[in-house]
Structure 1
Amino acid sequence: MIDQEMKKAVLDSFEKVYGKNENVKAYFAPGRVNLIGEHTDYNGGHVFPCALTIGTYGAAAKRNDKKVRFYSVNQEKFGVYEANLEDALNPSEAAGWVNYPLGVIWAFEKRGMKLDAGFDMVIYGNIPNGSGLSSSASLEVLTGFILRDLYGFDVTNQDLALIGQYSENNFNGCNCGIMDQFAVAMGKENNAIFLDTADLSFEYAPIKLDGAKIIVANTNKKHKLTDSQYNARRSMCEEALSILQKKLDIKGLGDLSIEEFEANKGLLTDPDMQKKAKHAVYENQRTIEAVKVLKDGDIARFGELMRQSHESLRDDYDVTGVELDTLAEEAWKIPGVIGSRMTGGGFGGCTVSIVKDEAIENFKKTVGENYLKKIGYEATFYTVEIGAGPEVI
């Protein structure tokens, strides 16, 4: 569902910044929300995200020289950032948000796909910044999609996801899993993606919410995922895995059943490490069950699993914080809320809730008021729809 005003704005902005260009094209890549399966994607587990109808709009055209120029309507003060393809591409503080598209160009080149000329690009996103709805993955996939279209590179949408993840890991220094980029690149309208991150096998699962909607609530507490917190949890899980591998034939924590984990958790003598590994194992099993009950039409059980997911992220994985906890815990009190949990990396960002239509107004009003009272600033609520992957518009 393309927002024609956003499309017009990004094309108008391109003309204003770079002048008239007959060859300019408009593009879109979605954001994503993860319904369940958090911090499992780098542990070889399952995730269950869906693409959204909000995302990042882009306008781009090739140049005749080796310059690449970038401009964001969301960050007008930043102005136009220019780089030269003949220079080595390196991340820098001066590049700010442009490090994401530069990282994608760099990752394409690493795969032997060199740009024969530069391009001009304008972006305009309607994903709230720092909300945990994957504005960075959206921008990475958008950039890769534009490169494929402008230069005729032979890459699939799944390749675009892997290139985006590689660039974020190795150029931008955030050790993220594959989920965000995969959900953005492979999105399908009205479907979530049940993805096994161990081997990238996946299936689309129709989301039929008769008489209910998906509501995203933004804490408005900014988070920055490259923060050491995220990488620290990942390395603790990797350490737990290597200890368990001395006894068990497993490739990732996602290979363990709950029974196997419980029988072997004593090998993890650090109590904090044991809790982190427990979350990875239990959350993976919750996700598998969640997709099954959804197929069976048991939306109430799906909601219970969402709550268990949040509690585990709060108590075992320790990535929620008072803002996310307040939003989730206040939501659980409201009649007509089927389920609610934090979504994304944590430490701020958003919750995702499934709310019956007749309860939505009360949910927004009551949760909003109680959040403001406790936290001191407002949360923002969005009713979101499940959209498709990237496209030329």
Structure 2
Amino acid sequence: MSEKEKVIRAFEEVYDGQVPDRVFFAPGRVNLIGEHTDYNGGFVFPAALTLGTYMAIRQREDGVYNLASGNMESRVQFNQQDLNYKESDTWGNYIKGVLQAFSQKGLKLNGADLYVWGTIPNGAGLSSSASLEMVTAFMLSELTNAELPRVELAQLCQVVENQFMGVNSGIMDQFAVGLGEKDHALFIDTANLTYEKVPLDLGEYKLVVTNTNKRRELADSKYNERRSECEEGLKQLRDLGLQLESLSECTPEQWQAHKEQIQDTTIHNRVQHVILENQRVEQAVKVLKKGDLEAFGLLMDASHHSLAHDYEVTGKELDHLVEVQRQSPGCIGSRMTGAGFGGCTVSLVKEADLPAFFDKVTAEYAEVIGYEPTFYISDAGAGVHELY
């Protein structure tokens, strides 16, 4: 039975035999390299996953929204006239936020029964929230015949994340979820939202996403603190005479010339990570186009080292997991992916060595951390779409 069939059957069970009108899907995403650069106007290199969020919908005419999920026990109900954030509505707030944003554009439904099923592990840093937002936005765009461009949908959902949910994140997650393409990664310049679809030819290697199984709550993490530190770094560089719109406009050469003048060690390190991480993304795209996977793996390693030491967003679980994975059979590169403070790593592992890799990593991670990690092998998948 396909995931779509499972979702339709679950919808019928929840809503007393009623059949959904339509079913939509939005992927999660994994960022291959370029972390904590997106809100600094920098480069990122994500790929959409085949894991994601399914949404079945049946429209109503009474203005009532009923929300159910196969992942959450709590049901959520609200009216079209009450689309404000409520803590008691928990996961339903992501959907409410998108509904509110569409209503403000004059685009709205008159209620709906919704069923959501996600195959992305919650809190793992694979963008389950962006996936839920984007599947809702794409669904609304289609049902209201607005047919908004995917870039506009991504921008709308970023505003929902920032202003409605209170998480000061960049646009990479929504952008990758919306514009991903099968067997490709996206090289995105977040300053102007230009992008290039880069073929992801991994040959005998596989992308392995490994969940530390340490739950990470983005809104409760130090994410907003890091953003503030970057803003302070930008201010200090401007005070030194650099004409910069964003931190990522500072070139490595300019940084070398001015870095000693940033006296605060924390601010210095945060700025250094952003500038050199942008450089690593550009190098990663070049070596991947040449098919030099070994060089790409080394850039992944360098990215993680910077995230651990300059940006300080990893923690013992992620650091130990990366260390073990790099010493395991077939692995030529590994790094944390996502916001950090738990969540997942992404590794490049030779397919023939996967069983040995899984065994060694599981044993050595559990020995130190006390519980086992979870592995996901996912190809680069398509962006948000309707399932027919």
Tell me the TM-score normalised to structure 2 length: 0.97
How big is the shift at 1:116? 4.3
Deviation above 3 Å: which 4+ runs of structure 1?
19-23
Fraction of identical pairs, as percent: 48
Does the alignment pair 1:93 with 2:87?
yes
Does the alignment pair 1:27 with 2:24?
yes
How big is the shift at 1:152? 1.2
Does the alignment pair 1:255 with 2:252?
no
Q: What does residue 117 of structure 1 align with?
A: 110
How big is the shift at 1:384? 1.1
Q: What does residue 344 of structure 1 align with?
A: 338
Question: 1:300 and 1:5, CA in 2 relative to 1: closer, same or farther beyond 3 A?
Answer: same
CA distance in 1, matches of 2:131, 2:34: 19
For residues 19-98 of structure 1, the aligned pairs below 5 Å read: 19-21=16-18, 24-75=21-72, 77-78=73-74, 80-87=75-82, 89-98=83-92
CA distance in 1, matches of 2:206, 2:181: 17
Does the alignment pair 1:156 with 2:149?
yes
User: Do the aligned residues in 1 keep the contact of 2:207 with 2:349 (CA within 8 Å)?
Assistant: yes
How big is the shift at 1:243? 1.7
Does the alignment pair 1:215 with 2:208?
yes
CA distance in 1, matches of 2:101, 2:310: 35
Q: What does residue 334 of structure 1 align with?
A: 328
CA distance in 2, matches of 1:114, 1:387: 29
CA distance in 1, matches of 2:70, 2:153: 24
Structure 1: any 5+ residue segments left out of the alignment? none
Q: What does residue 357 of structure 1 align with?
A: 351
Matching residue's letter, 1:173: G
When the two chains are superposed, the root-mean-square deviation of aligned CA atoms in Å is 1.2
Question: 1:85 and 1:280, CA in 2 relative to 1: closer, same or farther beyond 3 A?
Answer: same
Q: What does residue 237 of structure 1 align with?
A: 230
Question: 1:229 and 1:349, CA in 2 relative to 1: closer, same or farther beyond 3 A?
Answer: same
Tell me the TM-score normalised to structure 1 length: 0.96
CA distance in 1, matches of 2:100, 2:314: 33
Does the alignment pair 1:128 with 2:118?
no
User: Do the aligned residues in 1 keep the contact of 2:107 with 2:144 (CA within 8 Å)?
Assistant: no
Secondary structure, in 3 states, of the residue corresponding to 1:325? helix
How big is the shift at 1:115? 1.1
Structure 2: any 5+ residue segments left out of the alignment? none
Aligned equivalent of 1:293, options 287, 301, 318:
287
Matching residue's letter, 2:172: M
Does the alignment pair 1:269 with 2:263?
yes
Aligned residues: 386
Secondary structure, in 3 states, of the residue corresponding to 1:269? coil
CA distance in 1, matches of 2:342, 2:86: 25
How big is the shift at 1:5? 3.0
